[in-house]
Structure 1
Amino acid sequence: MSKCALYYFSATGNSLAVAFSLAEKLPDAEPISLPGSMILADPYAAARDADQVGFVFPVQRATMPEMVRGFIEKMPVRSDCYYFAVSTYTVFGCNEFWDIDEILSASGAQLNYAASVKMAGSVGLLDQNSPRVQQTLRTVDGQLAEIADQIGNRQENYFRRSIKLLGKMVRVYTENRRKNIVFTINEKCTRCGVCAQVCPAQNITVDEDGGIAPIRSDKCQACLACIHWCPANALGTNINIHSHYHHPDITPEQLNPNILKPKVKAN
């Protein structure tokens, strides 16, 4: 039986929900936190033992998150391994699959399969409880069943090649915004620590007195998980956020990078 290492990066919980669904449908697969893997002594232990390696992540700045890029760039690859990627997006995908394929090709491998899944709310354009958001979430299951079936059969596809120059321009612009992001905390903050729990970069700390340490811009992934998950809506930023959203079936505990292999929430 083949062994599948299914790495995920998730901020609002959309990508973790997709990873849970795929793992349920694929034999011998379980979601592995990519941020959690990066704090291990051997971040790539699961990938070394697998003959299928997959990545699930949200589209950020017209490509994959920087943490995902850094992980794949340092990952030992094999030409006989089946690599796949599934991205989640709200508006559109862009260069994420092309960029992964370039990294793998440099080491003699390739991205064998790729698929995009339209999700809800991750750019804060819609209210979490809006009918449009709920409808989007309901239509995902059928698409994921088809994707899992194709991955299980090790199908290969010619994923969409986007306009690379456009993608690079978007990335340069948004990367500058990421590096200059500024967070604010208002008087609504209850020092509950949810923001620290969901941060994939472990970039937020709550001290013994309940105070929140400054958020370092050099480590920040600009995923905005801290803002979307804050139960008091106490966090803000110089990037416009029109509404707050997180996946209804995911909890902050499941996103904690210190939990390498989270379990599905019991109904």
Structure 2
Amino acid sequence: MKKIIYYYSGTGNSLRAAITIAESLDGAVLYSVRNDSQKVSAKDADVIGFVCPVYEWDVPGVFKSFIENLDINPNAYIFMVATYIAVHGRCFETVEDILSKKNAHFSYGRALRCVASQCTAYPPFPPEKIMLPYMERQTKKISSEIVARKNIPYPHMSSLTRRRYQNTMGPYIAIEHEYDKGFYTDDRCIGCSTCEKVCPNQNITMSEKRPVWNHHCHGCNACVVYCPTKAIQFKTPKAYQELGTFISKILRLPEKRKRYHHPLIKACDLMKDIIHIE
């Protein structure tokens, strides 16, 4: 039986969930969205999983494009787990719509609360000592349900979120390509290229041993939190200053703010495009 999980992960929450599920399945192949979707087909897979965080109340754009170009087995047991902190929004509906065009549908969908990790806006919360054990317990529960091939409807977007989606998230989506203009490096940068290698969007290139952001960023902050010297800094981009919303006003990265990533996911884990779980 062939089991495949496709994942997008910036600070490790989603990758940790994907690995835990794969282990419960007695093995699976995990593919990062950095792969060419046409080369990692799920056409002959019996179990297909999608694991990703929620950004702007939806799936990351790169993840959406990846699934749109992916060949899948419409008769497979298909599941999705979305890691989030407050609002899962329309992420499941977005992927279900893509699947339906391939004559496939979800068998299972769950939203998994995790530590909020956008360090360019706020410190991690809720406290890790509370949330990390909770995440592990919930992921194991989710894993057992997937192993049992349970059919559980995915969470839909609430009516309130649906009404507020465009006005609340639309402005951020419109200027998302400006987000990475806030990143820069200070003199602690050692040119190690860790930032380039962990970026799930392949948005970073190295020039004269310094990272260059190429404006295809989803704000996952992998580059920031996995930088070994904390050399990557952030200041509010001009487009966000002009937006003048609550979130845009609090965008900053104080020196003493913790740069959270999941403690069980190292930079070397995010650098892998293919992970075999035995």
- Between the two proteins, the alignment pairs up a number of residues equal to 253
Task: Provide the rounded CA distance (Å) in 1 between the counterparts of 2:73 and 2:196.
Answer: 36
* Corresponding residue number in structure 2 for 1:43: 39
Task: Provide the rounded CA distance (Å) in 1 between the counterparts of 2:3 and 2:169.
Answer: 31
Deviates most, 179-188 or 4-13:
179-188
The within-5 A match list for 1:1-267 is: 2-35=1-34, 37-38=35-36, 42-45=38-41, 47-124=42-119, 125-127=122-124, 132-162=127-157, 163=159, 164-181=162-179, 182=181, 183-207=183-207, 209-212=208-211, 214-217=212-215, 219-237=216-234, 238=236, 239-241=251-253, 243-257=258-272, 259-261=273-275
1:176 shift after superposition: 2.1
CA 1:133–1:221 in structure 2 vs 1: closer, same or farther (change >3 Å)? same
CA 1:172–1:243 in structure 2 vs 1: closer, same or farther (change >3 Å)? farther
Task: Give the counterpart letter for 2:222 in structure 1.
Answer: A
Q: Deviations over 1:94-137 (max 9, x none)?
A: 1111111111112221122111111113123335xx88112200
1:223 shift after superposition: 1.6
Decide whether the 8 Å contact of 1:120 with 1:136 is kept in 2.
Answer: yes
Task: Provide the rounded CA distance (Å) in 2 between the counterparts of 1:32 and 1:139.
Answer: 25
| Runs (5+) with no aligned partner, structure 1 | none
Task: Give the counterpart letter for 1:114 in structure 2.
Answer: G
CA 1:211–1:20 in structure 2 vs 1: closer, same or farther (change >3 Å)? same
1:254 shift after superposition: 1.0
SS at 1:161's partner residue? coil
Task: Give the counterpart letter for 1:173 in structure 2.
Answer: P
Task: Provide the rounded CA distance (Å) in 2 between the counterparts of 1:44 and 1:111.
Answer: 20
SS at 2:220's partner residue? coil
Q: Deviations over 1:58-78 (max 9, x none)?
A: 111111111110011122234
Decide whether the 8 Å contact of 2:189 with 2:210 is kept in 1.
Answer: no
Decide whether the 8 Å contact of 1:3 with 1:28 is kept in 2.
Answer: no
Task: Provide the rounded CA distance (Å) in 2 between the counterparts of 1:172 and 1:197.
Answer: 30
Identity %: 28
1:148 shift after superposition: 1.2
1:142 shift after superposition: 2.0
How high is the TM-score relative to the length of structure 1? 0.85
| Runs (5+) with no aligned partner, structure 2 | 237-250
CA 1:51–1:62 in structure 2 vs 1: closer, same or farther (change >3 Å)? same
Task: Provide the rounded CA distance (Å) in 2 between the counterparts of 1:43 and 1:98.
Answer: 25
Decide whether the 8 Å contact of 1:22 with 1:144 is kept in 2.
Answer: yes
Deviates most, 239-248 or 146-155:
239-248
RMSD of equivalent CA atoms: 2.3
How high is the TM-score relative to the length of structure 2? 0.82
